[in-house]
Structure formats: C-alpha cells, structure tokens
Chain A
C-alpha cells in the first residue's frame, strides 16, 4: 500500500473513533489496524534513500551516476 493510502486509512480510523457510534470490539479492531497503518506510513517515508544522481551514457545503456553540485 502507498503512503497516501495508508495515511488516508489512519484518518478514517481517527474519524470513526471520534464518532462514538461504535462498539468496543470495533474500537479495539480499529486500534490494532491503526498500528499497522502507522508502521506502513513510516516504512514508506523511509523507503527512499535521498540519492542525487545524473543519467550518463555508458557504452550502450544509460546509467545513474552520483551528481555533485557543489559550487565551483
């Protein structure tokens, strides 16, 4: 599941719990779901490693090479 979806699910859970129109069983189920979705969100947030690369041609294909843009 993508970050945006998991975040949306967390919001939905918060709203359902806020509405009070909900049984104890449902509340507990929602709470444990929220733990799952939170973990998903955090995993997604850290899933990229902040690389900065430029595309360079290497023989017959294009590859990524680290890019350094420090001031000359």
Chain B
C-alpha cells in the first residue's frame, strides 16, 4: 500500500481533529499527583503524574487554585492538542483535592518506620555545645543559606571557625552528599557542632532531607547536629532525627555560636566581683583585729577600775572598823575615867564625905575615939579641928 506523506501542519491538524472529535476526551477527569507547579501570567502550569506517566496541564485563571506540589488531585477538563507545537496538554477546568499526595504518604510511612526504630527519641539527642570553636556546615555553597549563617556568626563572634562541606540540597544526588558531609565532619576531632541547612521549597524539593539515608547518617553521628531545613512550618525527617531543630539557618547560627563580647564582659565582671570580695574580706579582717584589740584594752581598763573600787571599799571598811573601834575605846575610857574620878578622894570629899584623922592617923572606926578627943577633919577645901562630944 502506498504510504501517505503529510506535511507537519497537515499531520498535526489531522491528529488534532481526531482528538477533538473524540467526545470522551472533551470532558473527563484525570487523577494524579501535582508536580512542577508554576504560576505565570495569572495561569497555572503543572504536571499530573503517577508512577509511570506524566501529563502536562494548564489552568487558565489560577486565582482560585488551591493546590501545591505533592497534592493528590482529580482534575476535570479536556484534552488539547496544539497544531503549532505538536504538543498535547490537558486544559483543566476545576481541580479537587483527592487525598494526601503520594510523596507525602511515603513520607508518613517512612517516618513511622524510623520512629518505631527509635531514631527520633528525645533521650538520644545530644546537647549543643555552648562554646563551639569549629562549626561544620553541610549545605549549598551558593545561595542565601550559607551567607546568612556566616553573617549571623560574625556578628556574635569574630573568632569562630566555619567549615563548609558543600553539598547539593535537592535532586537525587543530594542525599548522598548530605550524608557524606555529616560523615566527614565526624572524622574531624576539631569540629564541635554540625549544622545541616537548606532554604524553603516544596515537598519534592525537600525530599533529600526526608530520606532514610540522611536519618541514619544523623543517627550515627557522634557530633551534635542542628537541623535548619525548609520554611518555618516544614518538618522533615532530618529535623526529627537531629539533636536540635530550628526554623531557619540564621537561628541555627544564633544557637551554635556564643557571643564573644558577652563573654569578655562576663570575665571582666567576675574579676571585678572577685577583687571586690577579696578587698572586702581583708577590710573585714582588719576591723576584726581592731575590734579585738580595742576589746582587750577596754576589758583591762574595766578590770583595773573594778580592782580600784574594790580596794577603795576595803580601805573604807578598815577605816570605819578602826574608827568604830576607837569610838568604843573612847566610850570605855570615859566610863572608866568617870568611875575613876568618882573614886578620887577629893571628889568623895566634895560630896560631903570627910577624912577624919586622930593624932595623924586615919580614923575609920568610932571605937578608936573617946569623948573629949581632938580630931582633925579633912574637908575638900581645907581642915578643921574638932572635939568629940558624943559617940553613937
């Protein structure tokens, strides 16, 4: 049979006609996973895929479109074959979410499996060193991530060392390079902390950070790892496995690097405190010594005063004892001298008593005289001669 030869436009038009004629193709639904989504000029361009095939789609007027890469959707529309380009696509009228994307499903299954193995446990997470000298970073050599990390680090500390292990952060080769970076830093004794980082992206873009390979590399790491992957709201398996997850690469640097200037101030303050307390102690000891010597002097003075007082009292007692003794003796003396003076013959004579003498001898009895005798009567102030006239 003779083959027909057509021009390109003829061929394309022929194919278009066949497709347009097929009623079935003018309104049907296709189910698949959204990928390669791009919004341009107000229209949405994406592919729908499954494990074996991919279909190019376009939705004109994308303002009401609420889908993202990874979503599993049902798109209702019609086939369109462009004569000019010979390309076929599916013009979408409306889209409906039809459950979790396949990629997301796989993510959940893997997460569950690795979680069961205990790779995400809190207990095995290491503390992040407070004063790291050498920080290993696994990320792309170009782009904002490494720039941000360097910038934040330098603000806080001019002396911290940053060692970058350049790695792809998306695509099929990324998971190997990321794991290699983590392993490399584990061979270096000087590295204190590792940061694994990547900027925002779709679930597909982040997929290297959702692989078993990276989780196991983190698990095996003996050095602490900080994970800063994706947007603030993204959580990858890398985040779950890491010793610390932070929302952005800048925060990773904040956490990993210590403030040099703050530590200088800290040391200075400590020294000031130490100096203050030691001089305070010395002053206080000086005061103690002064207080003790004052106290000794005072006590001695006091003792001296007390002794003086005691002495004084004793002297006073002696004085009064002597004086009262004296008075007693004076009293006795005056009594005795009173008695004695009463015994004075002259006093006796003053009281009317007289001493009678006969022939020069004391006359003490009436028997020794007779009437007519001459006697002498001694009175206090003189003598009188008398004659006895009667004896009784």
Q: Which of B99-107, B154-162, B203-211, B384-392 contacts A (4 or more CB under 8 A)?
A: B154-162
Q: Which 8 A-B pairs have the closest CB atoms?
A: A17-B277, A54-B164, A48-B159, A48-B133, A50-B159, A10-B270, A69-B147, A52-B162
Contact between A7 and B146 (Cβ–Cβ < 8 Å)? no
Rounded to whole angstroms, the CA-CA distance of A52 and B161 in the bound complex is 6
Contact between B160 and A14 (Cβ–Cβ < 8 Å)? no
- Shortest CB-to-CB span from A52 to chain B, Å, is 5
24 A-B Cβ contacts within 8 A?
A: A3-B131, A3-B263, A10-B274, A11-B270, A17-B274, A20-B281, A20-B284, A24-B282, A24-B285, A30-B274, A34-B274, A45-B263, A46-B159, A48-B159, A49-B161, A50-B158, A50-B161, A51-B162, A53-B161, A53-B163, A54-B164, A64-B163, A67-B141, A67-B164
Q: Does B363 contact A (CB under 8 A)?
A: no
Tell me the nearest residue of chain A to B267, going by C-beta.
A41
Tell me the nearest residue of chain A to B137, going by C-beta.
A54
- Interface flags for A29-72 (1: CB within 8 Å of B; 0: not) read 01100100010011011111111111110000010100101010
Rounded to whole angstroms, the CA-CA distance of A27 and B133 in the bound complex is 33
Q: Does B273 contact A (CB under 8 A)?
A: yes
Q: Does B150 contact A (CB under 8 A)?
A: yes
Rounded to whole angstroms, the CA-CA distance of A48 and B157 in the bound complex is 10
- Chain A residues positioned under 8 Å from B14 (CB to CB): none
- Interface flags for B199-227 (1: CB within 8 Å of A; 0: not) read 00000000000000000000000000000
Check A7/B147 contact, CB under 8 A, given A17-B277, A17-B281, A51-B161.
no
Contact of A27 among B158, B266, B278 (CB under 8 A): B278
- Shortest CB-to-CB span from B195 to chain A, Å, is 14
- Chain B residues positioned under 8 Å from A67 (CB to CB): 141, 146, 162, 164
Give chain B's interface residue range (CB within 8 Å of chain A). 35 or more
- Chain B residues positioned under 8 Å from A7 (CB to CB): 263, 266-267
Q: Does B364 contact A (CB under 8 A)?
A: no
Tell me the nearest residue of chain A to B162, going by C-beta.
A52
- Chain A residues positioned under 8 Å from B158 (CB to CB): 50
- Chain B residues positioned under 8 Å from A22 (CB to CB): 281
Contact between B141 and A47 (Cβ–Cβ < 8 Å)? no
Residue in B154, B162, B260 whose Cβ sees the most chain A Cβ within 10 Å = B162
Check A50/B277 contact, CB under 8 A, given A55-B166, A69-B150.
no
For chain A, the count of residues having a C-beta within 8 Å of the partner chain is 39
Rounded to whole angstroms, the CA-CA distance of A47 and B190 in the bound complex is 12
- Chain A residues positioned under 8 Å from B273 (CB to CB): 14, 17-18
- Shortest CB-to-CB span from B129 to chain A, Å, is 8
Q: Does B271 contact A (CB under 8 A)?
A: yes
- Chain A residues positioned under 8 Å from B284 (CB to CB): 20
Residue in B134, B159, B184 whose Cβ sees the most chain A Cβ within 10 Å = B159
Rounded to whole angstroms, the CA-CA distance of A13 and B271 in the bound complex is 10
Contact between B274 and A13 (Cβ–Cβ < 8 Å)? yes
- Shortest CB-to-CB span from B326 to chain A, Å, is 65
Q: Does B165 contact A (CB under 8 A)?
A: yes
Rounded to whole angstroms, the CA-CA distance of A51 and B141 in the bound complex is 16
- Chain A residues positioned under 8 Å from B150 (CB to CB): 52, 69
- Chain A residues positioned under 8 Å from B38 (CB to CB): none
Tell me the nearest residue of chain B to A53, going by C-beta.
B163
- Chain A residues positioned under 8 Å from B133 (CB to CB): 47-48
- Chain A residues positioned under 8 Å from B161 (CB to CB): 48-53
- Chain B residues positioned under 8 Å from A20 (CB to CB): 281, 284
- Chain A residues positioned under 8 Å from B141 (CB to CB): 54, 67
Contact between A55 and B281 (Cβ–Cβ < 8 Å)? no
- Interface flags for B116-143 (1: CB within 8 Å of A; 0: not) read 0000000000000011011000000100
Rounded to whole angstroms, the CA-CA distance of A38 and B269 in the bound complex is 11
- Shortest CB-to-CB span from A70 to chain B, Å, is 9
Rounded to whole angstroms, the CA-CA distance of A54 and B159 in the bound complex is 17
Q: Does B53 contact A (CB under 8 A)?
A: no
Contact between B160 and A50 (Cβ–Cβ < 8 Å)? yes
- Shortest CB-to-CB span from B339 to chain A, Å, is 84
- Chain B residues positioned under 8 Å from A4 (CB to CB): 130-131
- Chain B residues positioned under 8 Å from A53 (CB to CB): 161-164
- Shortest CB-to-CB span from B274 to chain A, Å, is 5
